[in-house]
A and B are shown apart, each in its own frame.
Chain A
Amino acid sequence: MSTFAQSIISGLGQGSAYAMLAVGFVIIFKSTGVISFAQPALMAAGATLVSYLVFQFGLGFPAAVAVGVLVLAGVGLGLERVALRPLVGRPVFVAAIVTLGLDTAIRAVTNRFIGPDLRPVGDPWGYDRLELGPLFLQHRYLAMIVTAAIVLAALFTFFRYSRVGLAMRATAFDQETSLAQGISVGAVFALSWALAAGLATLAGVFVAAGSGVSQGTWVVGLKALPAIVLGGLDSLPGAVVGGLAVGVVEALVQTYQPVHAPWLGGNFSLVAPYVLMLLVLLVRPYGLFGTPEIRRV
């Protein structure tokens, strides 16, 4: 039983990072209708920036993370303005391809800054852990869970109660009507990119905590894809649940599959989130919390 509980705890910790990334994907998708494939690159860029701020500029870790989030939010804003805004009105497929290009470009630049070595992000947690009877919780996982909970709660509050959040929700619901009501849809698009980039930075810092950021760190960002499909592409709660589910499923499969189902082969945990995603889609084609799309045919 303690092994099971331990896997759940570890999974929730890792899943918190996936959830933040997934929420970034969903924010952009809801407001623009585009899946941004640049999120993994922004995640790596954010973590790299934090590493530089800590070691090159001598900032404390919390300050570096705050500055990193703000700077990357600005980068997200700029990317939307320069590369995505001109594509308004074009098929969303075109915009999605552009985000792929952005991903490649951002990674190329980021890799130059990462260099050939690992880059620690200066996190204070390391591999220290909290003993909870027979269970333990790594400090970084605790930090991930708490931070994710605070940030996501703040986001939900922002969307629910602020005027800008309301404008974003209205835009997500119907862009033309929002325009008619005086909402600056362009500003909403830019803000969604800024929020997503900031969340990607936070996720990147947590992913890099412990072992550091490397040129391969961006790959972790792809784990948000099964999370958002699983939760529903247009659902923020779905992204959170999906991210946590991916983390937990990974951890459980890592623990139990090698013992109870070795015939599935080594490292089945890499595939497991996608298997779960397919199973959910069989039952709920729009994901757990997604909005069913009804078209007249």
Chain B
Amino acid sequence: MHHLSPVRTLLLLITIVVLAAACRAEDEAAEDPADDVVDDPAAEEPAEDDEDDAAEDLEDADEVDEDAVADVEFDEPGVSPEPCPDAVNEDNGCLYLGVLSDLTEGPFSAAGPVIQQAQEAFFQRVNEQGGVGGYDIDISTYVRDNLYQPEQQAQVWDEIRDDVLALGMSLGSAPTLAIMDDLEDNDVVTVPATWNSDWPFQEVIAETGTNYCFESMNSVDYYLQEENPDAESVMVVYFPQDFGQDGAAAIELAAEANDLEFFGVETPEGADNQGEAIGRIMAEDPDMVMIYAGPEETAALVGESAAQGYEGRFIGATPTWNVALLDTAAADALSELYINQSYWPVFGADTPGHEAMREALGDPERGSDFSTAGWTHSYPMLEALEAVAESDEDFSRSAVMEAFQSLEEVDYEGMLPEGAGNYAAEPQERALRESNFNVPDPDEPSGLAPVEEFFVGDTAAEHDFDQPCIDFYE
């Protein structure tokens, strides 16, 4: 048997301590206000204060979690007469909302903590305004990492399923679908952080924003209407996931509706794997390319295509953008060729909701539209809870479900158009069809400046939405 010598053991321990310290130092650096000083060299690099703070806050949430969970008493799942951990209103009871999100290792782990931070800020504001019906809202205690994996989602859902009133967030279509039956069986209203066109057809899902289907149609129509009425062809480069397939199917529908030649190019993750897609762009030379991929892939697609002489228009779905793209070699090409489509006006927009969000997040110099997602998506849940409070019923899952399904409009404080949030309606009326278009702008907090808000093209307006677009995917 080979034993470690004391020296080796010491070296091993020192290494572990150094690694842990490195993690810690990084977090503390993110917290340090000095990071925000303009003349600090760090200010020249991609700002991540918002996101790093989000990760920090999540760790704090985990610490709260350890202490709080064991002693909570529930009248109904997620409904406690006792105050929330770190309660704003000590006399209030507590409504616990669960969160199943991609927080550490999954493909959207960059988004999950940011969304979570925005939701915590949203309900902190609600609590500071007195809470809802004698209760504060807690969205920090029952937070679990789903790794963006359906199996993991099922496991972590099982951990919290008896302790939450509703799911304040479930990130990912596939993970959400993995527990859909159980959510329906237990009347668990669920807020998704995806824009799958299947959601308006699901009874427990409280989706917010325009889905992939209508955003694709609007992107084609916007390009034809505002930029190039003589366009002849359109290409979609997309990830082989619901996100990409939903959008690709809708681009094909829009191409048919507008007599455009259509090219669909499935592409894998990774900037170094975009060669085939770039080759197809150069070979087919479409007038417009819609991208359903991540920021890294977007940089490669736009940057390399432009370097090879492509001069058409790129329109990217919301997740294609990251403010750090402005610091990459693709920045010039993006500024010239790229338009971003977003489900809501971008982080720096001038609506009461946006202003409240920025204030609640501490008016960061740089912001992410995943913050906008977390904040915006919280409104329907709040309205459903308020509707229960205004009724004679006690808080319970079934009461929240009934209230949610009766909502005919949600007050998004201007972040979404009038009439948004009609969950009582059929999908045809319920689904939002407005898109927002933005261009790269380094002076904006999220690196995007709006050029068109709440645009609805003819294709989206006239589309008979009686089934999800992904059903058309072949």
Give the interface of A toward B (CB within 8 A): 10, 14, 51, 55-58, 78, 81-83, 85-87, 89-90, 105, 109, 111-113, 115-120, 123, 125-129, 136, 138, 207, 209-212, 214-216, 219-220, 250-251, 254-255, 257-259, 266-267, 269-270
Contact = CB atoms under 8 A, between A and B. Distances in A.
Nearest to B301: A211
A48 to B, nearest CB: 11
Contacts of B272: 14, 207, 220
B51 A57 contact: no
Contacts of A259: 283
Given A56-B41, A82-B12, A251-B275, A216 B48 contact: no
Contact of A86 (B8, B51, B114): B8
A109 B22 contact: yes
Given A55-B41, A109-B19, A211 B267 contact: no
A86 B41 CA distance: 41
A116 B48 contact: yes
B26 interface: yes
Contacts of B22: 109, 112-113
A210 B271 contact: yes
Interface stretch (B304-312, B428-436, B462-470): B304-312
B50 to A, nearest CB: 9
A112 B26 contact: yes
A225 to B, nearest CB: 15
Contacts of A266: 240, 265-267, 276
B327 interface: yes
A95 to B, nearest CB: 12
B303 A267 contact: no
B37 interface: no
A219 B329 contact: no
Contacts of B267: 266-267
A120 B329 CA distance: 8
A209 B300 CA distance: 10
A259 B107 CA distance: 31
Interface in B276-310: 276, 279-280, 283, 295-297, 299-300, 303-304, 306-308
B109 interface: yes
Nearest to A57: B41
Interface in B361-419: 368
Interface residues of B, number: 62
Interface of B: 2, 4, 8, 11-12, 15, 19, 22-23, 26-27, 41-42, 44-46, 48, 51-52, 55, 105, 107, 109-111, 113-114, 240, 265-273, 275-276, 279-280, 283, 295-297, 299-300, 303-304, 306-308, 322-325, 327-330, 333, 368
Contacts of A211: 271, 296-297, 299-300, 303, 328-330
B428 to A, nearest CB: 33
B329 A116 contact: no
Contacts of B265: 266
A205 to B, nearest CB: 13
Contacts of B295: 117-118, 214
A214 B300 CA distance: 13
Contacts of A55: 41-42, 44-46, 327
A116 B111 contact: yes
Given A10-B275, A78-B15, A82-B8, A118 B113 contact: no
A83 B14 CA distance: 12
A119 B270 contact: no
A115 B107 CA distance: 13
Nearest to B298: A211
Contacts of B4: 86
Contacts of A251: 275
Contacts of A82: 8, 11-12, 15
Contact of B266 (A105, A255, A267): A267
A58 B41 contact: yes
Contacts of A90: 2
Nearest to A259: B283
B329 A86 contact: no
Nearest to A125: B329
B303 A117 contact: no
18 contacts: A55-B41, A81-B11, A112-B22, A118-B296, A118-B322, A118-B328, A120-B46, A120-B324, A126-B303, A129-B308, A210-B328, A211-B297, A212-B299, A212-B328, A216-B296, A250-B275, A251-B275, A266-B276
A173 to B, nearest CB: 25
B51 A117 contact: yes
10 smallest beta-carbon distances between A and B, as pairs: A116-B110, A126-B329, A55-B45, A127-B307, A117-B324, A211-B271, A211-B299, A254-B275, A254-B276, A266-B266
A85 B110 contact: no
Contacts of B48: 115-117
Contact of B324 (A56, A85, A119, A138): A119
Contacts of B45: 51, 55-56, 119-120
Contacts of A120: 45-46, 324, 327-329
Contacts of B26: 112-113
Interface centre among B276, B280, B325 (most CB of A within 10 A): B276
Nearest to A10: B275
